[in-house]
Chains A and B, each alone.
Chain A
């Protein structure tokens, strides 16, 4: 059983460009969360998707948007890239009904985004 997968593994973009990162959740999971991890820092929550809707959002600007598909996979889009967007972007999935109770989150290996 494959765990959480993310693509691409690494990505280099230029300031002002747009980027799309992809995540496939662990089998049986329907809730997907995205985190940004700057170098030397802990992951910071961006937003969470459940039933194809954004259910919760962290303190990130509207340049960060996402989408969840009927098969529960998800995309993270970042527009007008800034140098400060360089980070490891982590996707995490959890079981059905992820809005209540504790459901262990399984993290993917992340996508390393470098903005030059």
Chain B
């Protein structure tokens, strides 16, 4: 699985968009980008995943650059409950079971 690089921490004002970057310059052509988050004292929670096209669901949007070497997770209207550690993970969609390789993630703090 390709390695990812994320900033250790970010702050965001409540109601504003939170844009969390992830660098994955060694990603291979068939590897997907996944995002999970972990709210304090809870297990990680799946957010979204994508290959090359931008993706959106009820939680967030995922923007992947054309060269696929980086991506951005967007929380359009951050709330205090979005305060969490966000993990960007790159992996193959098939084979190898569902093993997830987590880095240290980005600690997002949403403030009033």
Q: How far is the CB of B99 from chain A (nearest CB, A)?
A: 5
* Size of interface on B: residues with Cβ below 8 Å to A: 23
- The majority secondary structure among interface residues of chain A is loop
Q: Which residues of B contact A80 (CB under 8 A)?
A: none
> What residue in chain B is nearest A50 (Cβ atoms)?
B97
* Size of interface on A: residues with Cβ below 8 Å to B: 31
> What residue in chain B is nearest A41 (Cβ atoms)?
B104
Contact with A along B19-61 (1 / 0, CB 8 A): 0000000000000100000000111111001000000000000
Q: Which residues of A contact B15 (CB under 8 A)?
A: none
Q: Which residues of A contact B7 (CB under 8 A)?
A: none
In the complex, A45→B100 CA distance in Å? 7
> What residue in chain B is nearest A100 (Cβ atoms)?
B94
Residue A74, interface by CB 8 Å: no
Residue A20, interface by CB 8 Å: no
Residue A86, interface by CB 8 Å: no
Known: A40-B104, A42-B102. A109 touches B97 (CB 8 A): no
Interchain CB contact under 8 A, B43 and A4: yes
Q: How far is the CB of B9 from chain A (nearest CB, A)?
A: 12
Interchain CB contact under 8 A, A90 and B44: yes
Q: Which residues of B contact A90 (CB under 8 A)?
A: 43-44
* Contact stretch, chosen from A11-19, A65-73, A91-99: A91-99
10 further A-B pairs in the complex, CB-CB below 8 A; given A41-B104, A104-B46, A110-B42: A42-B105, A44-B102, A45-B99, A56-B99, A90-B43, A90-B44, A92-B43, A92-B98, A100-B94, A101-B94
Could you tell me which B residues sit within 8 Å of A by CB distance? 32, 41-46, 49, 85, 87, 93-105
